[in-house]
Structure 1
Amino acid sequence: MEVSPGLSLLCVALLLFVSTLPPISLSACSSHDKEVLLRIKEDLGNPYVLASWLKDTDCCTDWYAVGCNSTNDRINLISIQYSNLSGEIPAAVGDLPYLQTIFFHKLPNLVGTIPETITALKFLQQLRITWTNITGTVPDFLSKIKSLNNINLSFNNLTGSIPSSLSELPDIRTIDLSRNKLTGSIPETFGSFEIQDFYIIWSHNQLSGPIPGSLGAQNFTKLDFSRNDLTGDASFLFGKNKGLQYIDLSRNNFSFDFSDVEFPSELYNLDLNHNKIYGTLPAGLTELSNLQNFNVSYNRLCGQIPTGGKLQSFDQYSYFHNKCLCGDPLPACQ
């Protein structure tokens, strides 16, 4: 079949026209979300880390530090890290209705408090604000965000007490408030969880008083209360049938008899150094085949170190400065 010269010219013209068209984007973020993000950028002083946030580009495909939901092209993640940007967390963050993750990390000039506007975020699962200079308290209003499963506010300058209302979050799995200036006691309400896999990391604060007995009924996976001023008995946190894998109670003022404590089989980290714990080392320690880190130094323990398991694989620094502990790896008992 012969193609007419006129048809050939038409095809060439059509190809040239198509080649000048802009590429079709497979994703286009919401105009509302773009407007909010540009406002956030302005509130933060138009920092270099957000240089890709340009009005004429697509925020789902071209912008750094954000993510979009693949089904509706709405912003579901904002992650700003390692920047010298200055200012407070913009209140406009609460105007991104599909946001699931907020992550601000290593922002030393980020100051102010956590804005209450984030309570409007009904899908927010992760609130991670770490290594900043935000101040104020751990907000009680966080308990209104029922979708939260991870709160990490570590390495900040937060003060005040831990809100008991955080225990009302139905899906919470991790609360990390370490490396702040928190005071007061551990709320009794944290013994009311019905979650099996739960992490509490509240180390390096100024918490005081005893651990509520109600926490003994819980099946925590990780507990880190180290470097506080907590007192009293903590032996009820242990038990053969618990899921505890990691516990650090070091550098507090706990005082209890360690002799008859029983341990969950999956325990791999046990750090009790610098307390006032007394009694003997339980023979059950030799049954912990997963034990990787162990330290009972600077306590008031006595008697022979049980032989077997992994206890002799730890050096003398895991045992020294006790009242009268003896046996390998310490000097032999007399």
Structure 2
Amino acid sequence: MDSTTATAGHFLKLLLLLLLFSSSEGLSERCHPDDKKALLRIKKDLNSPRNFISWDPSVDCCQWNIIECDPQTNRVVILSVLLADLNLPMPLSVGDLSHLEQLIFHKTNLTGPIPQTLSRLSKLRFLDLTWNHLTGPVPSFLGDLKNLDYIGLSFNNLTGSIPASLSQLPKLTGLLLDRNGLTGGVPKSLADFQAESFYLYLSHNQLSGTIPRRWGEANFFTYIDMSRNRIEGDISFLFGKNKSLNFADFSRNMLQFDMSKMELGKRLGTLNVNHNRITGRLPEGLVELENIDLNVSYNRLCGRIPVGENRHLQSLDYTAYFHNKCLCGEPLPECA
């Protein structure tokens, strides 16, 4: 064998070794074994092969669908199950995904209570369990998950009161508890959040009592929807010239206060207080809100609808004002 042939043979052997090495590197599994073990238990508990068809034990779990691994740590950080017909409780093994940052079960027909095992997810930032059949209370242990910035529990069958512990979440910017069966009062502590802006959805429950005065001292509420509850009393203190509130819906409650001297901030874009017991006149400050979406129908208001330069209040449909005690002026009939 001449030297050229020997050199070529040596080169081929080296190339083969490199290919084998790169192949073995490609076959190495990124997914942490603890995460993979937990995910396979979740698949077994949910007994839904259609939704977890890619969860093959022989495949790296970072390549499975509906999950995502962190590119640096290779730990599972997202579990997102959408539009599944599970009809089972949430698997307790979800709590074993210790690095989980986003947990989503949206429109999956989950049943039963929200399990205590979620209290172990200390890194969790985003929790979306909307549109399911969850029962039991809103868990107070959610207040221990200090990284949460979003809680979505809308469209379930949750009961009981809103836990005051939720105010202990320093990063929370969105709390969605609407369309459940929640009862009791609204906690004063919800005024203690530290966010610059906050979205609060509490509509379609059975909440009662008055809005705490402490809420008026807060200036981070951007969106409040408390429609279709049993809230009483005054809410005028939530509004003011320098308030951040952009959307306020308190329709279909039992509010009773004089609206005449209510101050409205320039950021207010929607105000809906229909079907209450509000008295007085419409505040003149409404004319300064050129594009406000307003509905004050089915109350006990009187007096002329204010007229501004752009006549925006007159351009609204009459249904925004009708069924009041003696409210008048365009688009309603002229005042006597």
Q: TM exceeds 0.5?
A: yes
- Tell me the distance in 2 between the aligned counterparts of 1:312 and 1:245: 21
**Helix, strand or coil at the partner of 1:4:** helix
Counterpart in 2 of 1:102? 103
Gaps of 5+ in 2: none
Q: Which amino acid aligns with 1:282?
A: P
State the SS of the aligned residue for 1:243.
coil
Rate the CA distance shift 1:214–1:26 in 2: closer, same or farther, 3 A.
farther
Structure 1 unmatched ranges of 5 or more: none
Deviation, structure 1 residue 70: 1.8
Counterpart in the other structure of 1:49: 51
The residue correspondences of 1:95-134 to structure 2 (distance < 5 A) are 95-108=96-109, 110-134=110-134
- CA gap 1:12/1:194 in 2 versus in 1, 3 angstroms: closer
Measure the CA separation in 1 of the matches of 2:314 and 2:263.
19
1 CA distance for matches of 2:261 and 2:3?
96
Whether 2:262 is the aligned partner of 1:241: answer no
SS in 1 for 2:258: coil
AA aligned to 2:41 is: R
Cα distance in 2 between the residues matched to 1:25 and 1:206:
55
Question: Does the CA contact (< 8 Å) of 2:171 and 2:194 recur in 1?
Answer: no
Is the Cα contact below 8 Å between 1:45 and 1:87 reproduced in 2?
no
Matches of 1:266 and 1:240, distance apart in 2:
9
Letter in 1 for 2:268: L
2:165 maps to amino acid: S
Conserved 8 A contact 2:172-2:193: no
Secondary structure at the counterpart of residue 258 of structure 1: coil
CA contact (8 A) 1:65 1:79 kept: yes
CA contact (8 A) 2:229 2:253 kept: yes
Whether 2:184 is the aligned partner of 1:184: answer yes
1:199 maps to amino acid = Y
Alignment partner of 1:251 is 2:252? yes
The structure-2 alpha-carbon separation of the partners of 1:6 and 1:321, relative to structure 1 and needing over 3 Å to count, comes to same
Counterpart AA for 1:125: R
CA contact (8 A) 2:169 2:193 kept: no
Change in Cα spacing, 1:156 to 1:173, as seen in structure 2 (3 Å) is same
Matched position secondary structure for 1:34: helix
Which letter does structure 2 place at the counterpart of 1:229? Answer: R
What secondary structure, in the 3-state scheme, does the structure 1 residue paired with 2:216 have?
A: helix
- Post-superposition Cα deviations, 1:60-106, rounded to whole Å, max 9, x if no partner, equal 2x211111112211111111010112311111111111111111101
Q: In the comparison of the two structures, how many residue pairs are matched?
A: 330
Deviations 1:218-254 (A, max 9, x none): 1111111100011111111111111111110000000
TM-score with structure 2 setting the length: 0.92
